Amino acid sequence: MIKDLGLCKAAAAAEEMEQVAAAGEEEEVPKAQFSDRVPIRSIISRGDGGSGLAGRKARVGGWVKTGRKADKDAFAFLEINDGSCAGNLQVIVEASVAELGQLVPTGTCVVVDGRLKLPPAGTKQKIELRADKLLHVGSVDPAKYPLPKIRLTLEFLRDFVHLRSRTNTISAVARIRNALAYATHTFFNKEGFLYVHTPIITTSDCEGAGEMFQVTTLLSEAERLEKELLQNPPPTEVEVEAARFVVQEKGEVVSQLKAAKASKQEIGAAVDQLKKSKESLAKVEERFKLKPGIPKKDDGKVDYGKDFFARQAFLTVSGQLQVESYVCALSSVYTFGPTFRAENSHTSRHLAEFWMVEPEIAFAELKDDMNCAEAYVKFMCQWLLDNCLEDMQFVADKFDKGCIDRLKLVASTPFIRVTYTEAVEILEDAVKNGKKFENEVKWGIDLASEHERYLTEVKFQKPVIVYNYPKEIKAFYMRLNDDLKTVAAMDVLVPKVGELIGGSQREERYDVIQSRIKDMGLPLEPYEWYLDLRRYGTVKHSGFGLGFERMILFATGLENIRDVIPFPRYPGRADL
Amino acid sequence: MIKDLGLCKAAAAAEEMEQVAAAGEEEEVPKAQFSDRVPIRSIISRGDGGSGLAGRKARVGGWVKTGRKADKDAFAFLEINDGSCAGNLQVIVEASVAELGQLVPTGTCVVVDGRLKLPPAGTKQKIELRADKLLHVGSVDPAKYPLPKIRLTLEFLRDFVHLRSRTNTISAVARIRNALAYATHTFFNKEGFLYVHTPIITTSDCEGAGEMFQVTTLLSEAERLEKELLQNPPPTEVEVEAARFVVQEKGEVVSQLKAAKASKQEIGAAVDQLKKSKESLAKVEERFKLKPGIPKKDDGKVDYGKDFFARQAFLTVSGQLQVESYVCALSSVYTFGPTFRAENSHTSRHLAEFWMVEPEIAFAELKDDMNCAEAYVKFMCQWLLDNCLEDMQFVADKFDKGCIDRLKLVASTPFIRVTYTEAVEILEDAVKNGKKFENEVKWGIDLASEHERYLTEVKFQKPVIVYNYPKEIKAFYMRLNDDLKTVAAMDVLVPKVGELIGGSQREERYDVIQSRIKDMGLPLEPYEWYLDLRRYGTVKHSGFGLGFERMILFATGLENIRDVIPFPRYPGRADL
């Protein structure tokens, strides 16, 4: 497993320095490679909490979390954090070094040269820094700073997305999110998958345009034109007539000269004039036709032929269909990128812009797909335990006591696998035994969130994969099973969030998928390219999609999806 | 350095098998973890070209590159490729195993169980597979298949983006692109940078809306409403009047009952009726106000308050400004994602949708920024040499003889660094010595592509960083130098593509950046959040952007940017 090399390297370098110092010399703690300071992580996230660095010089920079003056203003104690880890470094500044009043407000940025010392026995931290010199102060007026040092709710912080990464929670989430993204690339690379960038702007409208954002330049073009026509009004009909008259006149001149057998030169000059007048008429006529507003066709519909891509374009809802074209050549691929839904939902589980991981595997059946999904989720859980434990401990303390145990459980326990039919039987049994669900349970229903949570949280208390769903409730591209009633689809359900992954074996049989498209009342034409993948050299293949923010909710135990993406987009809000 | 673990693992497993076999047992070559076949790479991309696996059983799947029948149709020779590497595996099928005619067309998909054998001495390949059983054939009608086995131009292939990954060139580019993406994440993780997902949909309009795509639901909402109003016409004025009359009537009934001191029950019933009639009036009035088309404000302008985000929203042109809010808390961050330009340019160097890598470093000056850019580019070049040599050799043979040497040069040579002023002097000297440029050279111009190419390809013949540009030609956020004439900006120029990276130290001084915004005639209000980063705990920081497709062009020597992204978007085209 690839450990966090940056840390290992810094820690190794620090330990080397120790040996140098032990040999009698005195050295600075090495700086980050492209910056002017030592990351605080390199000091305090060592096995010894930093105590082995005592006596060493270091330059550190960061933002004051807590500052206070002490000993009749002879000292200031500053807890500073630079985001490289969850922990803070305590910096002690004497009044002789700097004006202390400007240093203590929460949010102040400082860069300090100093010497690492062991703190008095009995204090929590293992190392602290005595400042020799203050190199930079980015001050804060506490009366105006929007994030004072009081407990702020996550909801309040959503109004300050540009500052909220300075809080302990949002920075811990940022580090966990980063770790999960890196784990994702590491896992798929290790397994021989190629990362494919599927398009964000798409003209494949596969799940219905209703919930898609449109991408257009028509509105801004219309505004530009309106402005331009105001400044420079279009020609009137009279002006167009006048231009036509000029052409007619110039034409007559040419005819007359030809009839009079004038010199080539004279005729040439007149023809030139005629040409110019025609060009100028064409321009006038074109401008005369300009109409303010969105361009429309004769039937009154918007003329998307005039849009940037010469047709209607949308933001993608999934890269799956496009990545299938790559799997039918490269065998193991995945996409990891933003996807979009223009749904008007105001829940804690939906965003208009969110990230999805979508692997696709050729020569693979549903069983392989489930194996891959299980291995991937386990890998991410183990990765967080190995690489992000300090941040996990923070969120465990603050939000969800059980989150570390949940990661351990998922990393170590085989996932339960039940068919949809078995799952419905389990739910029906529960109802018989007195369990109340809001949504009726019977074969054929789409499992509701309450059903999924019951299976994973109550019945099995571990991750559950439900597979082989009724074809009526699933998409046309899922492979029809031999029973002709179900399709080879699967959902991975986990405690805390319910559905984390949805996937399927894809229908690779040309005739079957063609009739599935027709049966669902969809037009064939937009899917011709997709059918080509089955027409020419078809291959069985399978894949799934994981909602990346759902994974972060699952890992951290946070409740609202708006807090686990840096810049959340939802109805009415798209700050920055 | 992290090697390709998938391959190492497979190769190690294969070698282990060898030992088992040497001990007298006979084993299959291990399959890919989530699939039913051995990746061809695990067979032929070993040090011995696969010869050590002779005698072993294997199941392979792939697409026929070249197929031919031989020995009076007793055999078929199939060169198959599964995208896991550039090379093909030769599969030999006897007529007794399958109907050979269906196997030989280019593009056919086959899955074969067989035995690996050493080929006859003197043949190019080191191993081949004798088929025992054919498990799957995805056939191709050669008369219809759009990609016949003839030399197809890259331009031709752009009309078949769903199939072109089956060609040698596009699949090699896909593997190189994947390697560069993985190298990017590896490099920044190693250096302690956190990956931050900046938003795709943005309301920060920082480089002028002219070249931005708009994201909206207004057009589809208008279409939906028009359809709805056709099916269910809005009320007429008479109907509204009638509804008002009912309310009035019901109100009078209530008054009369009250005056007559009727029972509570009677009055209650009448009040209920009044309430209902009011509700129904409200609905009628609302529907009466519905107007087809885009919602407009009283001044005739589009009412974006009715749009999904309650304001105008665009596709991002860069994640820089947003990622700056994270660097002012987390110290070392980067973003890697899609960016967009609605420019009407039809060149071989521009796309409407392209990927950018944008690191941002706190406590870092321009020098650190240049060091980071140089180290990152070198890392990517070395990565390709270490992990992608076979594909690099393919593109070297086919497109650009010099591309491998170029990678070696860049990986090993320190980049030249010259100030803008020095660069202009060099160009002026060149002009004095007879060099002709289309664009005039003098201090103050923005360097044109021809100037950049001259510096990197002719003058220095290696990568060049030009820094400290005149402030007039650069963005407001770049840090003003002490000369008050230049800003701390830098561009990395490389042979073959010219500008690969643009970056700068950011202006961290509140007063300076505020007056720079004003001087440029920009409004302050949209930048208030950005100014907050300087108002509260400001920190010096620097960053840059690398055009990911430019890097692929640089590495591969391909000429057209449309061939190095899976699904290119440009004016008039957004296939799939």
Residue A25's pLDDT is 46
Mean pLDDT of A460-488: 97
pLDDT band at A167 (very low <50, low <70, confident <90, very high): very high
Phi, psi of B314 (to 5 degrees): -135, 165
Chain-centre distance for alpha carbon B291: 40
The answer to whether the beta carbons of residues B447 and B493 sit under 8 Å apart is no
What distance in Å separates residue B431's CA from the closest CA in chain A? 37
What distance in Å separates residue B150's CA from the closest CA in chain A? 17
The answer to whether the beta carbons of residues A277 and A243 sit under 8 Å apart is yes
Task: Count other Cβ atoms within 10 Å, centred on residue A264.
Answer: 7
As beta bridge partners, residue B478 has B506
Interchain proximity B539–A302, CB inside 8 Å: no
Mean pLDDT of A156-172: 97
Task: Say how many CB pairs under 8 Å bridge A and B.
Answer: 415
Interchain proximity B161–A325, CB inside 8 Å: yes
The answer to whether the beta carbons of residues B502 and B289 sit under 8 Å apart is no
Task: Count other Cβ atoms within 10 Å, centred on residue A359.
Answer: 29
Chain-centre distance for alpha carbon A273: 60
Q: For the CA atoms of B159, B169, B569, B212, what is the dihedral angle to 10 degrees?
A: -160
Residue of A73, A160, A148 whose CA lies nearest to A105: A148
Continuous H helices in B388-473: 389-398, 403-412, 420-432, 449-453
Tell me which residues of chain A, numbers 289 to 308, contact chain B at a CB-CB cutoff of 8 Å: 294, 301-302, 308
Model confidence, pTM: 0.92
Triad A304, A309, A312: Cα angle to 5°: 45
Contacts A353 to B, Cβ<8 Å: 199-201
Contacts A111 to B, Cβ<8 Å: 363
B33, B213, B566 member nearest A191 (Cβ): B33
Tell me which residues of chain B, numbers 22 to 61, contact chain A at a CB-CB cutoff of 8 Å: 32-37, 39, 41, 61
- Residue A317: is its pLDDT beyond 60? yes
Interchain proximity B368–A34, CB inside 8 Å: yes
Residue A151's pLDDT is 85
A352, A364, A538 member nearest B109 (Cβ): A538
Contacts B144 to A, Cβ<8 Å: 535-536
| Alpha-carbon span B56 to A485, nearest angstrom | 41
Could you tell me which residue, A375 or A25, shows the higher pLDDT? A375
Give residue A336's identity as a one-letter amino acid code. Answer: F
Q: What are the tens digits of pLDDT across the range A401-443?
A: 999 999 999 999 999 999 999 999 999 999 999 999 999 999 9
Let me know if A195 is exposed, middle or buried by CB neighbors in 10 A (0-12, 13-18, 19+): buried
B-chain residue closest to A105, CA distance: B537
Cβ partners under 8 Å of residue B488, min gap 6: B365, B366, B467, B468, B478, B479, B480, B481, B504, B505, B542
| Alpha-carbon span A339 to A356, nearest angstrom | 7
Mutation site, A2, A215, A501, interface B, largest B CB count within 10 A: A215
B439 vs A: CB within 8 A: no
Task: Count other Cβ atoms within 10 Å, centred on residue B307.
Answer: 22
The answer to whether the beta carbons of residues A21 and A38 sit under 8 Å apart is no
The ipTM estimated for the assembled molecules is 0.92
Mean pLDDT of A19-36: 71
Top mean pLDDT of A228-242, A273-287, B545-559 is at B545-559
- The β-bridge relationship of strands B313-315 and B416-419 is unpaired
| Alpha-carbon span B56 to B33, nearest angstrom | 18
Ramachandran category for residue A182: left, alpha or beta (phi over 0 → left; psi -120 to 50 → alpha): alpha
Torsion B470-B472-B473-B479 (CA) sign: positive
- Residue A208: is its pLDDT beyond 60? no
The answer to whether the beta carbons of residues A226 and B302 sit under 8 Å apart is no
Residue of A119, A103, A113 whose CA lies nearest to A64: A103
Residue of A256, A257, A275 whose CA lies nearest to A266: A257
Phi, psi of A521 (to 5 degrees): 75, 20
Give me the half-sphere count of Cα atoms (radius 13 Å) on the Cβ side of residue A40. Answer: 29
Residue of A366, A34, A67 whose CA lies nearest to B190: A34
- Residue A528: is its pLDDT beyond 70? yes
Concatenate the DSSP letters of all residues of A511-574 into one string. Answer: HHHHHHHHHTT--SGGGHHHHHHHHSS---EEEEEEEHHHHHHHHH--S-GGGSSSS--BTTB-
The tokens describing A150, both together, are 């009081």
A145, A325, A539 member nearest B109 (Cβ): A539
| Alpha-carbon span B294 to B302, nearest angstrom | 7
The helix (H) or strand (E) run that includes residue B494 is: strand B486-494
Mean pLDDT of B220-246: 91
- Residue B145: is its pLDDT beyond 50? yes
Residue A26's pLDDT is 61
A199, A223, A508 member nearest B353 (Cβ): A199
- Residue A367: is its pLDDT beyond 90? yes
B-chain residue closest to A509, CA distance: B138
A37, A321, A364 member nearest B36 (Cβ): A364
| Alpha-carbon span B325 to A167, nearest angstrom | 12
Give residue A90's identity as a one-letter amino acid code. Answer: Q
A483 vs B: CB within 8 A: no
The answer to whether the beta carbons of residues B316 and B300 sit under 8 Å apart is no
Contacts A337 to B, Cβ<8 Å: 337-338
What 3-state DSSP class applies to B337? strand
Interchain proximity B574–A375, CB inside 8 Å: no
The tokens describing B498, both together, are 């010219």
| Alpha-carbon span A505 to A362, nearest angstrom | 10
A5, A342, A369 member nearest B189 (Cβ): A5
Mutation site, B197, B376, B490, interface A, largest A CB count within 10 A: B197
What 3-state DSSP class applies to A488? strand
What 3-state DSSP class applies to A54? coil
Mutation site, A157, A193, A291, A567, interface B, largest B CB count within 10 A: A567
A353 vs B: CB within 8 A: yes
What distance in Å separates residue B27's CA from the closest CA in chain A? 21
The tokens describing B304, both together, are 């974006």
The answer to whether the beta carbons of residues A64 and A110 sit under 8 Å apart is yes
Q: What are the tens digits of pLDDT across the range A560-570?
A: 999 999 999 99
B32, B321, B363 member nearest A192 (Cβ): B32
Tell me which residues of chain A, numbers 212 to 271, contact chain B at a CB-CB cutoff of 8 Å: 212-220, 223-224
Concatenate the DSSP letters of all residues of A287-311 into one string. Answer: HHH--SSS-B-TTSSB-GGGSTTSS
Interchain proximity A35–B362, CB inside 8 Å: yes
Q: What are the tens digits of pLDDT across the range B421-446?
A: 999 999 999 999 999 999 999 999 99
Let me know if A22 is exposed, middle or buried by CB neighbors in 10 A (0-12, 13-18, 19+): exposed
The answer to whether the beta carbons of residues A305 and A311 sit under 8 Å apart is yes
A156 vs B: CB within 8 A: no
What distance in Å separates residue A264's CA from the closest CA in chain B? 38
pLDDT band at A121 (very low <50, low <70, confident <90, very high): confident
Choose the weakest-confidence range: A22-31, A245-254, A354-363, B172-181.
Answer: A22-31
Let me know if B232 is exposed, middle or buried by CB neighbors in 10 A (0-12, 13-18, 19+): exposed
Tell me which residues of chain A, numbers 356 to 395, contact chain B at a CB-CB cutoff of 8 Å: 361-365, 368-369, 371-372, 375
Mean pLDDT of A313-339: 97
Chain-centre distance for alpha carbon B49: 34
Q: How far is CA B261 from CA A513, B48, B256, B268, B273, in A?
A: 73, 106, 9, 12, 18
Residue of B177, B426, B33, B413 whose CA lies nearest to A376: B33
